Amino acid sequence: MVLLLQNPLLGLVGMLFWLCVLPWAKGGKVLVVPMDGSHWLSMLKVVRELHARGHQAVVLAPEVNLHIKEEDFFTLQTFPTSYSQEEFDNDFQRHNQMLFKTQHFLKTLLETLANLKRGSELYYETCSEMLHNTALIRHLNESSFDVVLTDPVFPCGGLLAKYLSIPAVFFLRAVPCDLDFEATKCPNPSSYIPKLMTMNSDHMTFLQRVKNMLYPLGLKSICHMSYDPYASLASELFQRDVSLMDILSHGSVWLFRGDFVLDYPRPIMPNMVFIGGINCANRKPLSQVVLLPFSCWCYS
């Protein structure tokens, strides 16, 4: 150190050496493939923060959408769809009106399933049109993105990341039917991890454990209806058999908008990160704390 102080030239050479050796920090290019609705409103805060930290974000969305509008902290890349904004709005309004109807439970259930089927078909149609848009895919390939940030509830983002051979980061609250457990090879013991909508806690009797194992079986048909088409689409693109697990397992990091303060503890894998509270931009003390049951989980 004394030698460097006595010889400024030697010190300057040493500084230049370290500047050449040390890696330069620079922002990356992030391709954001969001799920519309409240999911996007949650992800929007992350995109804003990425921009603040020097990253370049490009949000990929259909021209017809609900909330995804242009902002000054990201570039919006849209693609055309075969359905109009009026058709999209009518479907959305029909779903909202059904939520406030007073009618027989069975009729409500059938209408809910019909709306889910229509919504699933709409999202799949959007995904198929995007992936078959050769000009768009060529442009995305040439853009050299570093990572895809997406919500796996809409598997199209994960499929696109796999198709472009780009790492995927999944940003989510949860995925139905325990698909997150399967995709990450995460232990999922039914003895103490309550399933969605069972009203069970992490301390269950024998009968509650039986219910915890059997209850999700009824949801499997809904998941098959919603997600199986993406496996067929992936198989068509890759010209080989590709399963939904192949698509979801492409996720390098899973960012869960949850926290064990409110959610029951569960096993996690090294690439699972819990970021509960990320949506609480303006934090204020609570005058009263109410712990909601496990069944009140939402995917927003």
Q: Which of 52, 78, 240 is nearest to 163 (CA)?
A: 240
The verdict on residue 102 lying in a domain is no
* Mean pLDDT to the nearest integer, 71-79: 95
The verdict on residue 249 lying in a domain is yes
**In whole angstroms, what is the distance from residue 219 CA to residue 222 CA?**
5
- What digits encode the pLDDT tens for the residues 187-237? 998 888 888 778 888 889 999 999 988 888 877 878 888 899 999 999 999
Confidence of residue 15 (pLDDT cuts 50, 70, 90): very low
Domain that holds residue 70: 25-94+126-186+229-279
Q: Residue 275 pLDDT more than 50? A: yes
CATH of the domain at 145: 3.40.50.2000
- Residue 96, classed as helix, strand or coil, is helix
The verdict on residue 182 lying in a domain is yes
Confidence of residue 185 (pLDDT cuts 50, 70, 90): very high
The verdict on residue 245 lying in a domain is yes
The pTM (predicted TM-score) of the whole model is: 0.81
- What digits encode the pLDDT tens for the residues 115-149? 778 878 889 999 999 999 999 999 999 999 999 99
The order of strands in the sheet holding 29-33 is 75-79, 56-62, 29-33, 147-150, 168-172, 251-256, 272-274
Distances (CA, A) of 232 to 176, 177, 229, 242: 19, 19, 5, 7
Per-chain mean pLDDT for the chain:
83
The total of structural domains in the chain comes to 1
**In whole angstroms, what is the distance from residue 122 CA to residue 114 CA?**
12
Cβ–Cβ under 8 Å, residues 39 and 153: yes
The verdict on residue 85 lying in a domain is yes
- Please tell me the predicted confidence (pLDDT) of residue 96: 66
The verdict on residue 292 lying in a domain is no
Distances (CA, A) of 88 to 110, 133, 153, 166: 21, 21, 19, 30
The verdict on residue 298 lying in a domain is no
Q: Residue 254 pLDDT more than 70? A: yes
